Chains A and B, each alone.
Chain A
Amino acid sequence: MATFEGYPRPDGRAGVRNYVAVLPTSVAASAIAKRIADRAGDDVRATPHQMGTDPPSATRKQIERVLVGVGRNPNVGAALVVELGTESIDADGVADSIAKTGKPTETLSIREAGGTTAAVADGESIARELQVDTAGVSRQERDAGELVFGVECGGSDATSGIAANPAVGAACDRLVRDGGTASFSETPEFIGAEHILADRCVDDELRERLLDRVERRESTAQLMGVDLRGAQPTPGNQEGGLTTIEEKSLGAISKGGTTPVRGLVEYAESLPVGGGLVLMDTPGYDVESVVGKVAGGAQVIAFTTGRGSTTGNPIAPVIKVTGNPKTAAKMRSNMDVDASTVIDGESIDSVGERIYEMLLRVAGGEPTAAEIRRLEEFAINELQPNELAELRGGA
């Protein structure tokens, strides 16, 4: 049985990191959250973001879902929710939802603290106390089937679909075989490959829902009277040899492996543990998409790239995989797995095994290239006007 050394959490889940998370409810609290995390010690991580203090209601709910989800992620041992104090998001409500997992949770209002200087001092002190709680938790042997593995691609080129994505897919197949969950997202990048995913859905209801979501993303372009070609594939993808969205999608979906599709969840909605392959409906922006899956409970992310990418995440370790030999050489220090060996003849299955072994080692504490360099990008998806109209039933 495959295992890893993880941190037990009161809700029964297992973390692969043991962080105190400092979660700002808006952009107005983000700089302070970051400053608190920087001062309070090695195991404190902030999630600064750009969302405003008084967003439309559907946007506010999405921000709350992300913040609660990130706070509940098993890599977080304790959480501090920071607000300016004028936000429409209720920091206490967010903290209460996180605290239901049984982990220590606090809130801090910059306004109530008496301004930023006092808030940083108070926040540092709270975060240090929370670290005393989390430091009391030790790693123990856990079943690999408890892992929720988010997979992502960014800066794709032709090698993504040939080498890196199918190799990560082979690792997903191994994790699913061992009882775990694998998840990929970015619905615009299902366009042209949705028939393959639909055929793999475990039931008709899921199949219909998946096709409906893909159609919704495609019709966004139609509603606006434009085509996807200016945006998908991106100019960079095109330079890397990808001609159409269909070609990009056919390569992208291979990163989820070959097992049946067992579910489809909303952006930042909770991913099931022991759930097999589950899709998440997200836009096609990698940093937001990674955050959606981390908010869904993914403890580890694999991120494939052809042209190169350096992004990480503050809460979940990100394993970088490239199938492009030039990127593997030029960006060696930012890559964890060289899958370009596929082009020289190493089997996809063999690279998949290497990635799966790395997943278990990273889960057990081995730092990734992005972690060593403290690359911790964080962004929350902002609903677009047409999506807001649709959610109001006005579209």
Chain B
Amino acid sequence: MKGEVLGGLGLHMAETDNVVTAIDDLETGATIPTADETIEVGEDVPFGHKIAIVPIERGERIVKYGETIGEASEPIDPGEWVHTHNCESTRGRGDLADATGGSA
């Protein structure tokens, strides 16, 4: 598998990633050791879903595979589940085209 499994629970795919992928169904309170500290998972996170491992500010890029997968739509704490409720795509956003004066 590409990347490193932290604590047998979270797959960190590239060094610059600010999220890990749960490789098991994680319960609240599960701990994931990162290079700097140990993260406590703040809510139940299903297999395959993502967890922040550092504080992420609103508007900051979410990075997985060492690449940008979206932007934080609200501040995210380490240990928080990262999904559609707090991470937005920046691509194919025809809904934003008018607001930014883009082609419609």
- Interfacial residues, chain A to chain B (CB-CB below 8 A): 157-159, 161-163, 166, 188, 191-193, 196, 218-219, 221-229, 232, 238, 240-241, 243-247, 250-251, 306, 324, 326, 342-343, 345, 347-348
Contacts and interface: CB of A to CB of B under 8 A. Distances in A.
Interface string B45-62: 011111000000000001
Contacts of A157: 48
25 contacts: A157-B48, A158-B50, A162-B1, A162-B13, A191-B91, A192-B67, A192-B89, A219-B103, A222-B103, A223-B104, A224-B94, A225-B97, A225-B98, A226-B94, A243-B50, A244-B89, A244-B91, A246-B67, A246-B68, A246-B70, A247-B64, A250-B65, A250-B69, A342-B1, A343-B1
Contact of A218 (B2, B92, B95, B98): B92
Contacts of A224: 94
A interface SS class: helix
Nearest to B82: A243
Contacts of B82: 243
Best-buried of A157, A158, A225, A240 by chain B (most CB within 10 Å):
A158
Q: Which bucket holds chain B's interface residue count?
A: 35 or more
Interface of B: 1-2, 11, 13, 21-23, 46-50, 62, 64-65, 67-70, 82-84, 87-98, 102-104
B10 to A, nearest CB: 12
B92 A245 contact: yes
A342 B65 CA distance: 16
Given A158-B21, A221-B94, A343-B23, A244 B1 contact: no
A228 B21 contact: no
Given A159-B48, A241-B50, A227 B1 contact: no
A243 B103 CA distance: 26
A227 B95 contact: yes
A191 B1 contact: no
A222 B70 contact: no
Given A241-B46, A243-B70, A225 B91 contact: no
B89 A241 contact: no
A340 to B, nearest CB: 10
Contacts of B13: 162
Nearest to B86: A243
Nearest to B89: A244
A370 B62 CA distance: 38
Given A191-B91, A240-B48, 9 more contacts: A158-B49, A192-B91, A196-B67, A226-B95, A227-B94, A229-B89, A238-B83, A245-B89, A348-B1
Most chain A CB atoms below 10 A, which of B22, B68, B92: B92
A244 B69 contact: yes
Nearest to A247: B69
Contacts of A345: 1
Contacts of B98: 225
Sort A-B residue pairs by CB-CB distance and give the 5 closest, nearest first. Answer: A228-B92, A158-B48, A241-B48, A244-B89, A247-B69
Contacts of B84: 229, 238, 243
B87 A246 contact: no
B20 to A, nearest CB: 11
Contact of A162 (B2, B46, B69, B102): B2
A192 B68 CA distance: 8
Contacts of A191: 91-92
B1 A245 contact: no
A283 to B, nearest CB: 14
Contacts of A241: 21-22, 46-50, 83
A241 B21 CA distance: 9
A223 B90 CA distance: 16
A166 B49 contact: no
Contacts of A247: 64-65, 69-70
